[in-house]
Structure 1
Amino acid sequence: MKLIRTIALAATLIAAPALAADQPSSVRITYVASPFNVPSIVMREKGYLDETFAARGVKVESPEITSGAQQTQAIAAEEIDIASVLGGTSAILAKANGVDLKVIAAYARSPKAYFLMTRGDGPATLADLKGKKIAGPKGTVLNQLLVAALAQQGLTLKDVEYINMDLPTARAALLSGQVDVATLAGANAVAVEKAGGKPLTSGEGLIKPTTVIAARTAFLDAHPDLVKAYFDAHNKALSFMKAHPEEALAIAAKEQKISIEDARAQMPLYDFTPVMSEDDVANLTEDQAFMIEANMLQKASAIDIKADLIAPSAFEAK
């Protein structure tokens, strides 16, 4: 018996370093503040993410990658572990093209927060978009909004000059007269309106955008404890927003460089509930069907949204 106990103890001592070695020294989680990602902004300002992971001996790296396409490329290259705010369309396109990721929660639902913006002297209606220069980030919800708005008028992307730009660059190009229309959201849309611009349309009635939180499948499978740590910090930010709404607005306004009043006007446009529902699955399924119809995705590459894209844990309380 003594020999058996000695062997068992030796096995435990040998195994312990191996387990420690399996835990990464750092995790890479994107930070995306725009268009109005209040939970992420609060989480950074309050240090919740660093605090939660430090307790586990893990350092957090937070690259600022706002483009959905660039985030999914980084996941494919194993350069990031969690994409904290990813457009549903970007997640679908990536998965359909072989990127091994899983949606682990919803981030926000916000059709009223996305706009086609123009200057005061710009196109008067959506019907006037033919032949116009339009700027915005391709492969995103805003890309989808543009396609939907054009389709409503019997037009396609071939009927406009569509230029790929991030949100601040698209806003600047619009205000300087380099383009006729910009696809914008959040503070960028507010800035254009304050400069005399106007919305041609919002996403309401055209799209049902769901931004999501996604993880590398290998990271999710190997480190469920670290995924839980992420949600501990995320939920702490949501709780802070509920308990201290004015302070949360002030934090978001400062980060977005907008007034408290503008931040207060933005907040009702977003539902930040992280637990996914069957309605979210239906919306993402409709998004995929739309992308196929608009030639943004080949029908042969279509995926089963619930089975292929969404982790079962996404439907559970965090």
Structure 2
Amino acid sequence: MKKLSTILVALTAIIASTMPLSAAEKLNKIGITYVSSPFNVPSIVMRAKGFLDDEFKALNIKVESPEITSGAKQIQALAAGEIQIASVLGGASAILGSANGVDVKIIAVYSRSPKAFFIMTGKDGSTDIKSLKGKSVAGPKGTTLHQLLASALAKNGMKLSDINHVNMDLPAARAALLAGKVDAATLAGNNALAVEEAGGKILVSGEDYIQPTTVIAVRGDLIKNHPEVVKAYLSAHKKALTFMKEHSDEALKLAADEQKISFADAKRMLEWYDFSIRMNDADVANLEADQDFMLESDMLKKKIDIRAQLIDPSAFTIE
């Protein structure tokens, strides 16, 4: 976690060397991240149905869609101008970026999904959080799953230093747990389902410990100088949400195929997510709780005004 904070502090130099977008500058291309995991159905539908390309074709702008799953790397790419829109960004990463000088604005909620995050053990593994003391737990650091692990340990009178936290992405953490190389893993989405199907057990889910809010974030100068681009993106996202509502089975089939899971598993996972984009007071409170956690964990050195980073989607006539 400290390493993540250090990386973001270093972005100050990148920001200083990056030319901001101007209102007069015509955009010929735009970088928008594509993040399909753990179960980002709107993004999967948006790509499969061509909604994003259609919106930007009307503006004569080519869409580039790098797959950047790390929140820290998305913030770094935003700061460097390599991307202009982070389509799926952890709220904590957005806060860290802003606190370290990155001009990042939140234009909408992407998802709320406390039920989609788990700490799991193997078939014959630990039976509760306290029994993880002194053992190895795999999972991605600097993420919502990291926060879940720290919160669960804290509520059981332990700290991260009481375990061996091995930094791994989700597929690697799943494989390590199934191979018996670690005692537990922090998992989400289809990786959690795969462990459960192999006989693994859920120790805790995020429902009782965290309220993760994933957001859609953009460079501040994009909002100021090219609001039509932000409007086009939100329009494509809204079309995906509408398609999910009106053609739910087809949307789930697209997501199941992308994630290489059964339709039944996709339907089960969808129940873990709320994809409505309008940010409410509870969402702001969750982001503020994330910030408090990062301050307490020494990830963050200064507090920011969360509401100052928010842009109401209605500013772009997208309800």
RMSD: 1.6
Q: Give how far 1:267 is off.
A: 0.8
Supply the distance in 2 between the matched residues of 1:130 and 1:260 (Cα, whole angstroms). 37
Q: Give how far 1:223 is off.
A: 1.0
| Partner-residue secondary structure (3-state), 1:107 | strand
8 Å CA contact retained: 1:170, 1:183 = yes
8 Å CA contact retained: 1:117, 1:200 = yes
| Partner-residue secondary structure (3-state), 2:215 | strand
Pick from 235, 245, 249: which aligns with 1:246? 249
Q: Give how far 1:311 is off.
A: 2.1
The answer to whether residue 303 in structure 2 is matched with residue 302 in structure 1 is yes
8 Å CA contact retained: 1:86, 1:211 = yes
Aligned residue pairs total 297
Structure 2 partner of 1:193: 196
Q: Give how far 1:296 is off.
A: 2.6
Structure 2 partner of 1:215: 218
Pick from 255, 258, 262: which aligns with 2:261? 258
| Partner-residue secondary structure (3-state), 1:153 | coil
Deviations 1:288-308 (A, max 9, x none): 11222233323xx1111112x
Amino acid at match of 1:286: A
Supply the distance in 2 between the matched residues of 1:258 and 1:91 (Cα, whole angstroms). 30
Pick from 4, 21, 30: which aligns with 2:33? 30
Structure 1 partner of 2:172: 169
Deviations 1:116-139 (A, max 9, x none): 111111111001111111111111
Deviations 1:10-55 (A, max 9, x none): xxxxxxxxx9972211110000001110000000111111111011
8 Å CA contact retained: 2:231, 2:318 = no
Q: Give how far 1:317 is off.
A: 4.3
Supply the distance in 2 between the matched residues of 1:256 and 1:175 (Cα, whole angstroms). 19
Deviations 1:68-87 (A, max 9, x none): 11111111111110000011
Structure 1 partner of 2:115: 112
Structure 1 partner of 2:4: none
Quick one: structure 1 residues 63 and 195, their matched pair in 2 at CA, closer, same or farther if it must change by over 3 Å?
Answer: same
Structure 1 partner of 2:279: 276
Supply the distance in 1 between the matched residues of 2:306 and 2:192 (Cα, whole angstroms). 31
1:1-318 matches, within 5 Å, as: 22-298=25-301, 301-307=302-308, 309-313=309-313, 317-318=318-319
Structure 1 partner of 2:18: none
8 Å CA contact retained: 1:105, 1:314 = no
Amino acid at match of 2:306: I
Supply the distance in 2 between the matched residues of 1:314 and 1:210 (Cα, whole angstroms). 19
Quick one: structure 1 residues 126 and 183, their matched pair in 2 at CA, closer, same or farther if it must change by over 3 Å?
Answer: same
Deviations 1:91-128 (A, max 9, x none): 11111122210111000011111001111111110011
Deviations 1:189-217 (A, max 9, x none): 01111111111100012001100000011
Supply the distance in 2 between the matched residues of 1:170 and 1:109 (Cα, whole angstroms). 23
8 Å CA contact retained: 1:107, 1:213 = yes
Q: Give how far 1:141 is off.
A: 0.8
| Partner-residue secondary structure (3-state), 1:204 | helix
8 Å CA contact retained: 1:92, 1:288 = yes
Amino acid at match of 2:307: K
Supply the distance in 2 between the matched residues of 1:114 and 1:95 (Cα, whole angstroms). 25
Supply the distance in 1 between the matched residues of 2:63 and 2:258 (Cα, whole angstroms). 20
Supply the distance in 1 between the matched residues of 2:57 and 2:221 (Cα, whole angstroms). 22
State the TM-score, normalized to the length of structure 1: 0.90
8 Å CA contact retained: 2:108, 2:312 = no
Supply the distance in 1 between the matched residues of 2:23 and 2:203 (Cα, whole angstroms). 55
Supply the distance in 2 between the matched residues of 1:148 and 1:124 (Cα, whole angstroms). 17
Deviations 1:206-236 (A, max 9, x none): 0011000000112222211000000111011
| Partner-residue secondary structure (3-state), 2:34 | coil
Tell me whether 210-219 or 171-180 shows the greater mean CA deviation.
171-180
Tell me whether 37-46 or 288-297 shows the greater mean CA deviation.
288-297
Residue identity (%): 60
8 Å CA contact retained: 2:28, 2:62 = yes
Supply the distance in 2 between the matched residues of 1:192 and 1:230 (Cα, whole angstroms). 35
Deviations 1:117-170 (A, max 9, x none): 111111110011111111111111111101101101111111111122211111
Amino acid at match of 2:151: A
Structure of greater Rg:
1
